[in-house]
Amino acid sequence: MRHPHREIAPAVWRAMQAYRRAIPPRALGWYGSPDGDTLPLDDKGWEHLREKMLERPWGDAWTVDLEEGGDGVGGYNIEYRGWRLDAPAFARDENLSCGVTFSFPTEYLLERGPVHLRALALELGRELPFSFGYASLAFVSVRGNWHSARRELLVPLSRYLGLDLYYLDDTSMSIGTQARGAYWLTFLGQPLLGQLGGIDALRGSLSFPEVSFEPMEGERLLLTLGEWPDAIDTERKVDLAQYRALALLLEPHLYEERSGWISQDKDNLRHWLRRLCK
């Protein structure tokens, strides 16, 4: 979301509350405190977060980490990275964007089904002024251990092209109004949707029976690439041409990570982010 925190904070907070209502009570049990501790997420914790998100008058950055388990392990998580985009340190950085993630355990999808999860993703997405967003099968790493998880998983993931491995910190500092890739649910907003030619152009380029189009208020679109998310196991030789077609349309708009990783590591990640473009 290429909008400053102050503009989008109420919408992000509403989306967080919608997610909270949709998951089991107390599924989110912990939050990261400003001093680095992990504290129980009780009513006092929620009030602290509300004040931090909506009322804190100072600061250039806002970070929220809500977890199912105190050690970061668990299927239910919320992460938010908000920025004061007009701050002197950020004003000229067109790649910086606010971002939020909501994760669910696989069991949630299997028990509730893809129709429920898609409807929930659409409810969350309606609140947010996104340029790009998505829902996908994914590995969710323990907070603080993402870099080691990435080193171990990037090679095995070359077999499963439909699995995601995300790190919101680096993505929010790099993506701007660009895209991350083609996913089961792919949300497109402005200016990205306009750069792709709009909804009518996409209908012509993605005329697959599996693909559905859900226009959204504010010149936005939800693309659904199939009934269920697919891991895309290359050893099964599945034909998911709609994923490749969307990936090729998005390829000119894919962002570049710009963290301090060593060059070889960056090349591996760049190759992985473009895995469906071949």
* Cβ(102)–Cβ(124) below 8 Å: yes
120 lies in a domain? no
Ranges in the chain, pLDDT < 70: 34-36, 70-74, 142-148, 258-266
70 lies in a domain? yes
Where on the phi/psi map is residue 143: left (φ > 0), alpha (ψ -120 to 50), or beta?
Answer: beta
124 lies in a domain? no
Task: Indicate whether 272 and 151 sit together in one domain.
Answer: yes
- Distance from C-alpha of 193 to C-alpha of 198, rounded to nearest angstrom: 5
Task: Indicate whether 107 and 195 sit together in one domain.
Answer: no
From the list 135, 240, 242, 129, the residue with the least C-alpha distance to 193 is 129
Task: Indicate whether 46 and 153 sit together in one domain.
Answer: no
Task: Indicate whether 20 and 64 sit together in one domain.
Answer: yes
Q: pLDDT per residue over 208-251, tens digit each?
A: 999 999 999 999 999 999 999 999 999 987 789 999 999 999 99
Strands 220-224 and 185-188, bridge-based pairing: antiparallel
Task: Name the token pair of 26.
Answer: 């107390």
Looking at the 3D structure of the chain, how many domains does it have? 2
pLDDT at 27: 92
Structural domain for 212, as ranges: 130-278
252 lies in a domain? yes
Strands 132-135 and 77-83, bridge-based pairing: unpaired
118 lies in a domain? no
pLDDT at 260: 47
Task: Indicate whether 148 and 216 sit together in one domain.
Answer: yes
Task: Indicate whether 179 and 63 sit together in one domain.
Answer: no
Task: State the greatest distance between any 2 C-alpha atoms of the chain, in Å, as a whole number.
Answer: 54
The answer to whether the predicted template modeling score (pTM) of the entire model surpasses 0.85 is yes
Q: pLDDT per residue over 39-62, tens digit each?
A: 889 999 999 999 999 998 788 999
Task: Indicate whether 157 and 69 sit together in one domain.
Answer: no
The single-letter DSSP state of residue 233 is B
pLDDT at 261: 45
